[in-house]
Amino acid sequence: MIRLIGLNLILLLVWFYIPQKVEIENIKPILSEPMLAIGSIDPDSQLVVDEGYIQVKQHCQSCHSMALVTQNYFSREVWLEKIRWMQAEQNLADLGESEKPILDYLAKHYNQNHKPGGKSISGRRRNLDPEWYKLD
């Protein structure tokens, strides 16, 4: 009788232990992936967190620092030129379906009129917009 109670107790302990373990394992991947608020700066890459920044991290980090991205402010056309130049000269792969979200992201956050968070991360000045006048 006492043995039977002992066995039941062990079974009960095992039963309690297993579901708990599974729960902890389920939570892990969520905890290891930091949840970053949109508009904040990703501490890993210094990119502004927004739609498309994951694709930028996936496609643009392997050859050079992300500082090359975050310190530049280009129009969408110039970003595309830079990508085409890297593809022609620097072995950058075809970006496939990621090209549009990457361009959307770069043109939104790293365009020539915008500096993320209102902070100036050492970068290029805005293009000059001189008032041209006719030479006599």
Between CA 118 and CA 114 the distance in angstroms is: 8
Query: Interface with ligand HEC by CB under 6 A: which range of 22-30, 34-42, 79-87, 128-136?
Result: 79-87
Q: Which of residues 39-78 bind ligand HEC (CB under 6 A)?
A: 59-60, 62-64, 68-69, 72
DSSP code at position 105: H
The number of C-alpha atoms within 13 Å of 72 and in the hemisphere containing its C-beta is 13
Q: Please identify which residue in 46, 54, 75, 82 interacts with ligand HEC, judged by CB under 6 A.
A: 82
Whole-number CA gyration radius for the chain? 26
Token readout for 67 is: 């500082």
Query: Interface with ligand HEC by CB under 6 A: which range of 22-30, 34-42, 45-53, 87-95?
Result: 87-95
Token readout for 2 is: 């006492």
Minimum CB–partner distance for residue 58 and ligand HEC (Å): 9
Query: Interface with ligand HEC by CB under 6 A: which range of 3-11, 13-21, 33-41, 84-92?
Result: 84-92
The helix or strand, by DSSP H or E, that contains position 59, with its residue range, turns out to be helix 53-60
Chain contacts with ligand HEC (rule: CB under 6 A): 59-60, 62-64, 68-69, 72, 82-83, 86, 90-92, 102
